Amino acid sequence: MKRSLPDGLTRRARSFLGAHAVHVDAGSSREKRQRYLDRGVPAAVVDRMTAFHERWGGLVLPPAPLYDGGPLPLSAHSPEERAPGDWWFEAGSPRTALPYSFMVGPGGEFGIDGERWTPLHAGVEGWVESVALHHHASREARRITRVVGEDVERVDLDGYEPVREVRGLADTWWRGTDTLVAVHRGEADCLGFPRGRTAWIYAGLDWWGLRGGLDDDEVV
């Protein structure tokens, strides 16, 4: 199903979505809204879920390299109050059986919830940007190295700058002179499993490979 692409993303991410993502029917936001109101979910929380549904609902991304590919599709459901006034809701069902759920936190963070809540990115936009950047870097890099466990902490990021559009929290991206590094600590933090730390190093990139033709933080 064709639908306009969400705003607030870089041109790189929008190009990625236009070429590789699809939309499926995620149901009526109006019906979902009334159903949650009838269950006593506060209107402000339902408003958040409705906004998520109208912007992201039904979006199917290509698989991410970790988290068994990510949610399929993005969809707001199952609101839950964890503390007075603090509500989370699920961001979509996992593609495979996982020991955690994909959630949106009370501040709009996108993350995973298992043994503990672990925000990966400061917003869903960051997740989309990260998946798009993995796709871009994997095509442009001359050499790709995967590092796991304690070795992740030995990756030298001195002189690197953060890739701000991914809005990284537990998962971050870093840009060097000819290298992009993605550091993923989400599963390690969520499951209390330090060996779950993973870094992807995309080396041998030219200017296009490093930035995808974008200026820093360029969004449309």
pLDDT, tens digit (0-9, with 9 covering 90-100), for 88-144: 999 999 999 999 999 999 999 999 999 999 999 999 999 999 999 999 999 999 999
Higher-pLDDT residue of 220 and 115 is 115
For the stretch 44-66, pLDDT in tens is: 999 999 999 989 999 999 999 99
At residue 65, what is the residue type?
Answer: P
C-alpha dihedral sign at 64, 66, 72, 76: negative
Tell me what percent of the residues of the chain surpass a pLDDT of 90: 86
Closest CA relative to residue 135, chosen from 169, 90, 98, 180: 180
Ramachandran region of residue 69, left (φ > 0), alpha (ψ -120 to 50) or beta? left
Q: Where are the domains of the chain?
A: 11-127, 141-211
